[in-house]
Amino acid sequence: MNRYRQDRGGGSRRDQHGDRRETRGGPQRHRNAKGRERSGSRGRGGPRRGFSRQRPGERRRESTPSRRAAFEAMQAVALDDAYANLVLPSILRRHRVDARDAAFTTELFYGALRAQGRLDTVIAACVDRPLDQIETAVLNVLRLGAYQMLDMNVAPHAAASETVGLARDVTGAGAAGFVNAVLRRISEKSAQEWIQEVAPTREENEAAHLAVVHSHPEWIVRALTDALRIHGRSAAEIDDLLTAHNTAPQIDLVMRPGLTDEDELADAGAEKGRWSVFGMGWPGGDPGRIPAVNEGRAAVQDEGSQMVALALALGADSLVEGDTGRWLDLCAGPGGKTALLAGLSVEQGAEVLAVEVQEHRTGLVEKSVATLVDAGAEVDCITADGTTIGTDRPGEFSRILADVPCSGLGALRRRPESRWRRQPGDLAQLGRLQRSLLASALDAAAPGGVIAYVTCSPHAAETVLIVKDVLRRRDDAEVVDARDAVQAGLRADVGDAHLGDGPFVQLWPHIHGTDAMFLALIKKKA
């Protein structure tokens, strides 16, 4: 028996009695009310086809390129651990999806990834088996169909028809019937009605309720709620924060220092940035068509990333004592922050050492700084272990950026797959690496030098607790207030930047419209 048959509801529709009946002369012909055999085709000629054996939603045999592309991207993320932002463009090109349909595919793919937890909860309520017993391809088809029905402006019948066609195309007829039956059940309720049915109330279990409503793992909801409190904000902001994670981020541009300016980018269609003195906004479309971006004089970079790099490159001027003229980017890949440091190092007459542990990422750093090197910046990119730099080159650098590997919980709006991949146990392993890298940075710092400890995560176990744990074991360094340093890299017309009470700075998607970057400035005692 087909493994999906039991969930189709109503069984086979081969004839009005159920299974197809046989006679001596072969299969029985279907007849109309007057006893005449029904013609297989209207008009003259054509083969006899009898009655359709499929429901209307099952008859489409080919999926649209836009939906097929979304499905293949979902599969790559699920089966190959692909990154959403890297895998989709090549799939769109392979299927030759035009610009209008590409926008639909992008919304469908990223939206279904963000909503995956909530969609799975709804799907689970409509099937009679655990989701881990459903093939990944079938489950991804169901997610795409459910997202169109519940979250996009796609008519339920159209969403069902197209999704069943996709199922038939990529998984076969049996799965198509299963998909059709499940989608019919999903279409019976709105998204809000499903939430009311499958989610616990906020009073019963707030974290579990928010996990379904905003489609985040429950442990992340709890961790982010705690992070808000630890960084001096109200836990009541958790709804706004989770909502921001489910909103596509604006594209931010960064001007490479000395290589372009606001006027050039504005002429190309860019808009004034919100925070960074080197930041611009891009309203939509491919920023690669901007000449300055294509030539490496500007790049795509979140303004939060710009702000923490500028805090070290511009804001630490008054903090550094006994400048050695040597700067270090300890975890440089892929090179966006390195490029900002490189551009600003020229005015300071400084040299930059960019360290990356993975050779292919070292290549990305070299590519990011190439135009700046051509313009006179002195940057040396090497492949090395950042945890040993402090031992290999002690007391050498007056400014050090330690943008350490982290859980990425601060960039969930940009990397929706991360919320489903990360597990609480990851933090312990990351924490050991983060401590080692910060200790190495402190050893590599010259007396009077400044270290910027940066993560793209607001989780306390990766931010405040790491800094406090490392510093309590040594007496040669101290935390300094990072707020004035961040302010030094902001536009002159920025009012209250909502930088908190110090000494640390934590940015937030729902407050700043940036990734949730954390910054601690630490000074090595002179």
DSSP assignments along 55-121, one per residue: -GGG---S--HHHHHHHHHHHHHHHH---HHHHHHHHHHHTT--HHHHHHHHHHHHHHHHTHHHHHH
**Integer Cα distance of 69 and 395 in angstroms:** 52
Residue 295 near residue 259, CB atoms below 8 Å: no
Instruction: Round to whole Å and give the CA distance between 199 and 272.
Output: 42
Structure tokens at 61: 């045999």
Residue at token pair 């990397």: 415
Tell me which amino acid residue 241 is.
Answer: L
Band the pLDDT of 47: cuts 50, 70, 90: very low
Is 403 annotated to bind ligand? Answer: yes
d(CA 469, CA 519): 16
Positive or negative: CA dihedral 476, 480, 482, 487: negative
pLDDT > 90 in the chain, percent: 86
Q: What DSSP string describes 254-272?
A: EEPTTT--HHHHHHTT-EE
State yes or no: 334 annotated in a binding site.
yes
Q: What is the spatial distance between Cα 336 and Cα 256, in angstroms, rounded to a whole number?
A: 10
355: β partners: 382
* CATH superfamily of this structure's domain 65-191: NusB-like (1.10.940.10)
Q: Which tens digit of pLDDT belongs to each residue from 75-91?
A: 999 999 999 999 999 99
410 annotated binding-site participant: no
Cβ partners under 8 Å of residue 458, min gap 6: 224, 227, 228, 231, 409, 410, 506, 508, 516, 518
> What 3-state class would DSSP assign to 145?
helix
- Judge whether 389 and 330 are in contact, CB under 8 Å: yes
Q: What length is written for the chain? A: 526
Structure tokens at 73: 């991207």
Residue 385, marked binder: yes
Q: Across the chain, what does the average pLDDT equal?
A: 90
**Which H or E run includes 398?**
strand 397-403
Q: What angle do CA 118, 122, 123 make, to 5 degrees?
A: 115
Segment 100-128 mean pLDDT: 96
Q: Is 44 helix (H, G, I), strand (E, B) or coil?
A: coil
CATH of domain 303-524: 3.40.50.150
Is 331 among the annotated ligand-binding positions?
yes
- Check residue 425 and give its pLDDT: 95
d(CA 26, CA 456): 69
475 annotated ligand binder: no
Q: Domain-by-domain residue ranges, the chain?
A: 65-191, 204-245, 303-524
- pLDDT given for residue 144 in this prediction: 98
Task: Kindly state the DSSP code that residue 452 receives in the 8-state scheme.
Answer: E
Is 11 annotated to bind a ligand? Reply is: no
Secondary structure class of 190 (helix, strand, coil)? coil
Q: Does 269 show up as a binding residue in the annotation?
A: no
pLDDT in tens, 454-463: 999 999 999 9
Distance CA 259, CA 369 (A): 12
Helix (H) or strand (E) holding 355: strand 351-356
Residue 493 labeled ligand binder? no
* Spatial separation of the C-alpha atoms in residues 382 and 389, rounded to whole Å: 11
Please check if 189 is assigned to a binding site: no
Residue type, 74: M
**Cα dihedral sign, 213-419-250-81:** negative
pLDDT for res 10:
37
Q: What would the pLDDT profile of 268-322 be if each residue is shown by its tens digit?
A: 999 999 999 999 999 988 899 999 999 999 999 999 999 999 999 999 999 999 9
- Residues designated catalytic: 456
What pLDDT sits at residue 285? 83
DSSP 21: P
For residue 282, the cross-strand partners are 251
Place of tokens 């400014």: 399
